[in-house]
């Protein structure tokens, strides 16, 4: 790997790549890759977790590698997508919040905020900066990969529920990242394995899928993740690699000023852009700030060997504001009234049959 920096280098900025690591502890190659100037973040998976103490030690190690610290992220939504389970609260799928909202909007919003706070608080006490949540794709009963990860079918309800979710995470000191812009709910295909195509018009998408984003942008949501979906009536390339979607629509029409994440460049939905280096260049050129590359170490190394300096002061500001606030020690968190109230609410609704925990 001819351009990896020596371990111990202390870069002064966060690069645009977010990469994964192999094990619950850092190996020598992990450390070398994570200190490369093009790397700015790390995404954790279930294989990186043993227990809360191990996770806290791992995040301390990761944060101490460089300054500013690497961003540590995880896909932790609840339901099917929850990377850490043992000794973490098992959270319901997002659809449960929408179901409660239909029965009683006030209770549904309150419960959503509590569960988002619980999710973020438990991650923050272990040193995780960012969870890629909430999903704000509309539940159109089409996409199996989204399915019960969606909050609701109605854009207004999704906007209200997503706002409560973001407020809960914010109260816990964690940034939220809404996904998948402009919307993944109207396509059956899974972008992990194919490139889905959504043939709707821009007007239809604006009138439905973008409504929740408008509300979240007004409340200054700090991060949004793009979809690996092609909308041929808008652009011929996936939204994640599209200047029209990111520059004209998200940054322009919606006046969004926060961080833009590409979805994982290892997914099949990005493969049409070419090599991993080509994919990374396309995403950056389109306006993405951070590019996750997951479960493909060779792809990461290819990018690091071939990509030139891509520093950007505006990107630095957008990314550094995603670092988590001060986390409460785990024992203190679990002894607090907010944690006990949230757990009691979860047990009450689950016991009443409002949803099923997996």
The distance of Cα 190 from the centroid of its chain, to the nearest Å, equals 17
Residue 92 zone, left/alpha/beta (φ > 0; ψ -120 to 50; rest)? beta
Determine phi and psi for 220, rounding to 5 degrees.
65, 50
177 phi and psi angles, rounded to 5 deg = -135, 105
- 190: annotated active-site residue: no
Maximum separation of any 2 CA atoms in the chain, in Å: 59
Comparing CA positions, the residue from 137, 158, 157 lying closest to residue 146 is 137
Q: How many CB atoms lie within 10 A of CB 1?
A: 12
| Contacts (Cβ under 8 Å, ≥6 apart) of 103 | none
Angle between helices 155-171 and 210-218 (to 10 degrees): 30
Q: Per the residue annotation, which of 148, 263, 264, 289 is the catalytic one?
A: 263
Radius of gyration of the chain (CA): 19
Contact 324, 130 (CB under 8 A): yes
Could you give the CA distance from residue 160 to residue 101 in angstroms, rounded to a whole number?
10
Residue tagged active-site, from 86, 102, 192, 193: 192
Give the C-alpha separation, 5 to 334, whole Å: 41
SS (H, E, C) 185-223: CCCCCCCCCCCCECCCCHHHHHHCCHHHHHHHHHCCCCE
263 is catalytic: yes
Task: Count CB-CB contacts under 10 A for residue 248.
Answer: 15
Work out whether strand 223-226 and strand 76-78 pair parallel, antiparallel, or are unpaired.
Answer: unpaired
Q: Which of 106, 108, 109, 180 is nearest to 150 (CA)?
A: 180
Strands 175-181 and 223-226: parallel
Q: Please give the positions annotated as active site.
A: 192, 263
């Amino acid at each position: 790997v001819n351009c990896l920096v020596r371990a111990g280098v202390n870069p002064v900025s966060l690069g645009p790549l977010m990469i994964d690591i192999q094990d619950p502890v850092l190996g020598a190659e992990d450390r070398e890759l994570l200190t490369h100037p093009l790397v700015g973040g790390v995404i954790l998976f279930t294989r990186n977790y043993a227990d809360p103490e191990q996770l806290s030690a791992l995040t301390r190690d990761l944060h101490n590698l460089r300054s500013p610290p690497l961003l540590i992220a995880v896909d932790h939504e609840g339901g099917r997508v929850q990377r850490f389970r043992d000794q973490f609260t098992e959270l319901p799928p997002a659809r449960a919040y929408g179901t409660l909202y239909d029965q009683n909007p006030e209770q549904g919003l309150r419960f959503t905020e509590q569960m988002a706070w619980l999710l973020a608080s438990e991650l923050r006490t272990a040193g995780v900066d960012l969870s890629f949540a909430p999903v704000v794709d509309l539940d159109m009963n089409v996409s199996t990969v989204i399915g019960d990860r969606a909050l609701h079918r109605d854009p207004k309800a999704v906007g209200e529920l997503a706002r409560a979710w973001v407020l809960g995470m914010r109260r816990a000191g964690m940034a939220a990242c809404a996904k998948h812009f402009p919307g993944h709910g109207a396509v059956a295909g899974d972008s992990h394995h194919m490139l889905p195509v959504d043939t709707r018009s821009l007007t239809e998408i604006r009138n439905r899928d973008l409504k929740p984003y408008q509300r979240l942008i007004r409340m200054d949501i700090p991060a949004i993740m793009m979809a690996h979906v092609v909308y041929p009536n808008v652009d011929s390339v996936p939204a994640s690699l599209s200047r029209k979607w990111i520059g004209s629509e998200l940054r322009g029409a919606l006046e969004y000023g926060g961080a833009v994440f590409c979805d994982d460049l290892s997914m099949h939905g990005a493969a049409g852009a070419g090599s991993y280096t080509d994919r990374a260049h396309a995403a950056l050129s389109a306006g993405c700030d951070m590019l996750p590359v997951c479960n493909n170490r060779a792809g990461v190394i290819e990018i690091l060997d071939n990509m030139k300096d891509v520093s950007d002061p505006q990107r630095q500001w957008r990314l550094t504001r995603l670092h988590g606030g001060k986390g409460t020690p785990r024992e203190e968190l679990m002894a607090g009234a907010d944690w006990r109230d949230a757990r009691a609410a979860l047990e009450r609704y689950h016991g009443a049959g409002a949803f099923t925990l997996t």
